[in-house]
A and B are shown apart, each in its own frame.
Chain A
Amino acid sequence: MAQQLLNAIFIGSIYALFAVGYTLVFGVLDVLNLAHSAVFMLGAVIAYSLVALHGAPFWLAVILAVLACGLLGLVIEYVALRPLRRRQAPPISALISTIGLALIFVALVEQATSGSLFSWLWQDGANSVRFPSGTVPNPTLHLAGLTIEGTKLGILVTTIILMLVLGSVIRFTQVGRALRAVAENRKAATLLGIDVDRIFASTLFISSALGGLAGILFGIAISDISPYIGRDQVELKGLAVIVLGGMGSIPGAVTGGYLLGLIEVLAFVRFGSNIAAGVAFAALFVMLIVRPQGLFGTRLRERL
């Protein structure tokens, strides 16, 4: 059981890191960015290709991949969101356009094989690959019957540090204050002289960089990098997490991530896989009925 609890904490960290990106965009822009799962996947794919295809050291690959994902966030903002916002399209249009962008990103990767246009990025088509062995040292500790992997421990520490940094940025810096102002009331923020478009772009950059980093960590810890890791493994879970935690709330996303990891693992151990997924979503359902705003959500728009 203790091992299963550790498993829950590790997968919960990845859910949390992924969901924070979702919730950040939702909190500020009032839009669900469903291309976030594709950016998660691209983070892993770009880091993998830099290491495996171009021989870059891992630390450099991580920095470049996270930056690239941040830039993809800007692509999402400029291509899928801003034009619709200008035309005052309803939020559902933005949701659909981000789904479209996600489909394009996934298709680009799954069609890339050696000799194709994107072979510099990916050569394995629909296949799943993993970082070459030894890319990241993974000392494994066997302690009192428990297996603790270095990489997973690293993920836990990274997640906690990043959450603390993000929390401080939002709470104590000028950009953070501007973010909160825009989340609170877009019009009032504009009247106060805040460049709302710039805040939107920054939000997309930060959330996508975090999403990309979550993807890289997933690739290391789970040994699974394919065009589908975002879509199949974390997209719906991420949505569940932000509903559990409270839409738009960062502490909510973190708590929700760990909570979902725990619910899933306990349900698996207790009831088996047939019921595990159902139990996780039943918890979601109960949350929506009992506390629709989620654990940390507020009825007012006091977000972030």
Chain B
Amino acid sequence: MRNVARGTAIALGVVLAACGGGSSPGSSATTNSYQGKTIQFGAILSLTGAGGVYGPSSKKGMDLAVETINKAGGVNGAKLALTTDDDASDKAQSAQVAQQLIQGGQLMALLGPTLSNSAVAVHPLAESFKIPILAVSTTGIHIVPDCNYPNATPCRFVFRDSLGEQTAIPINIMVYAAKAHPKTGVLMVANDDKFSSDGGKIVAATVAQYGITLLDTVEFSKTTADFATPVTRAVQKHPDVIFITSLGGIPAKIMIEARKQGFTGQFLGGNGFNTAVVSRQAGDSGKGAESGSAWYLNNTFASNADFVKAYRAKYGSDPDQFAAQGYAGILILADAAKRANLTFTDLAGDRTRLKDAMETVNINTPLGRFQFTSAHDVKQTVWVIAMDGNGGFTLVQSVNAS
């Protein structure tokens, strides 16, 4: 009888152990202790170089989220730690930084890189090392799910919380066409940067359905010193709209030059417009320039007011879209980590568990209620915003995700 009891106890123990080891990722109950542990994330951001207009904002948003979560007790008692490295807006350096972060530490997940141009080097790397990577500002084509484009196999470890230009640009054009009925446009596009040239392709593919004729496509290098020459070519066509798909300070420089040369029409653009730095640099010349944004300062989503308040308290300025996306990125990873039943001993397993948990994220963020699509992409409200001439933006219209 005692033997039977002992045998039953052993069998029960084995069953329990098996259950523990195989507990379904994404379930809200965790059995492993997180107390006293540290969950480490690494961010690859462009803090200098052309993307230096955007990366510092992302970093501020991320740092704020880490601080807020840790102050509130962390993730099931574990602290969050974030290592941020600068890729200087350079694709090769971005891949190198990613490699160091992946192999050098105990990182559970990566965030970034800032630029789509760098993502095509970094994301396949993360995929091959099986470490989840969450893009917080890349908006180009073929970021998710086909990070190994032209190979169409979906990447399993690559996610993004940044609104793709394939959604934002057509909505921006649709909203402007509906109210102003422009007939002609000229596209100005940087041809040596993935983000910019992708944006150009989207504009070119979209305008016809709104009755806009593209009179010319003016390509230029992102290292052009003086934009007078390409702008002259665009302005002399007398278009109703100049579409600008470029990043860094370039959209602002083009707007300033075009206004000097007497252009009085409309500027429409992409994600490159959506930061306070560009709006401030463009100043009066940029007033009224419209773009589709993933976020708007005064949106009424549940967690946005808290985010804006905390951001102002910490940095003494208003956040922008990139800060909101960086902040949301950490919230998403923290929520996934909370539910992933991390072991803190099996790094490879933890990364996979975290990835699985990310697929079922469903939380409030400043970007709205957040869930990934099956392609690991974002589906959210698009805010068409206009530069206000003083470094800020005003809301033109919001369009719900279809």
Cβ distance B287 to chain A, nearest Cβ, rounded Å: 12
- Across the interface, do B256 and A237 meet the contact criterion of CB distance under 8 Å? no
Nearest to A152 among chain B residues (CB) is: B228
Complexed CA–CA distance, A70 and B49 (Å): 27
- Across the interface, do B230 and A273 meet the contact criterion of CB distance under 8 Å? yes
Contact bitstring B237-273, A, C-beta under 8 A = 1, else 0:
0000000000011001100110011100000000000
Count how many pairs of residues, one from A and one from B, have CB atoms less than 8 Å apart in the complex.
101
Nearest to B89 among chain A residues (CB) is: A126
- Across the interface, do A126 and B221 meet the contact criterion of CB distance under 8 Å? no
A110 / chain B contacts, CB cutoff of 8 Å: 48, 52
- Across the interface, do B283 and A4 meet the contact criterion of CB distance under 8 Å? no
B166: CB under 8 A from chain A?
A: no
A272 / chain B contacts, CB cutoff of 8 Å: 219
Complexed CA–CA distance, A3 and B229 (Å): 8
Cβ distance A219 to chain B, nearest Cβ, rounded Å: 12
- Across the interface, do A264 and B253 meet the contact criterion of CB distance under 8 Å? no
Partner of A125, one of B52, B228, B232: B52
B97: CB under 8 A from chain A?
A: no
Total residues of chain A contacting the partner, CB 8 A: 43
A274 / chain B contacts, CB cutoff of 8 Å: 191, 219
A268: CB under 8 A from chain B?
A: yes
B219 / chain A contacts, CB cutoff of 8 Å: 272-274
A116 / chain B contacts, CB cutoff of 8 Å: none
- Across the interface, do A222 and B229 meet the contact criterion of CB distance under 8 Å? no
- Across the interface, do A126 and B233 meet the contact criterion of CB distance under 8 Å? no
B223: CB under 8 A from chain A?
A: yes
Cβ distance A270 to chain B, nearest Cβ, rounded Å: 11
- Across the interface, do B249 and A7 meet the contact criterion of CB distance under 8 Å? no
Contact bitstring A215-228, B, C-beta under 8 A = 1, else 0:
00010011110111
Partner of B191, one of A147, A229, A273: A273
A135 / chain B contacts, CB cutoff of 8 Å: none
Cβ distance B200 to chain A, nearest Cβ, rounded Å: 12
Of the candidates B191, B249, B280, the one having the most CB atoms from chain A within 10 angstroms of its own CB is B249
- Across the interface, do A265 and B229 meet the contact criterion of CB distance under 8 Å? yes
Contact bitstring A102-124, B, C-beta under 8 A = 1, else 0:
00000000110100000000001
- Across the interface, do B261 and A128 meet the contact criterion of CB distance under 8 Å? no
CB within 8 Å for A3 and B191 given contacts A129-B281, A272-B219: no
A127: CB under 8 A from chain B?
A: yes
- Across the interface, do A223 and B256 meet the contact criterion of CB distance under 8 Å? yes
Apart from the given pairs A125-B48, A128-B248, 15 other A-B contacts in the complex at a CB distance below 8 Å:
A3-B236, A14-B225, A110-B52, A126-B56, A127-B52, A128-B252, A128-B281, A130-B281, A147-B262, A149-B260, A218-B225, A223-B253, A268-B233, A269-B229, A272-B219
User: Which residues of A line the B interface, CB within 8 A?
Assistant: 3-4, 7-8, 10-11, 14, 110-111, 113, 124-130, 133, 140, 142, 147, 149, 218, 221-224, 226-229, 232-234, 237, 264-265, 268-269, 272-274, 277
Q: Sort A-B residue pairs by CB-CB distance and give the 3 closest, nearest first.
A: A126-B52, A128-B249, A233-B225
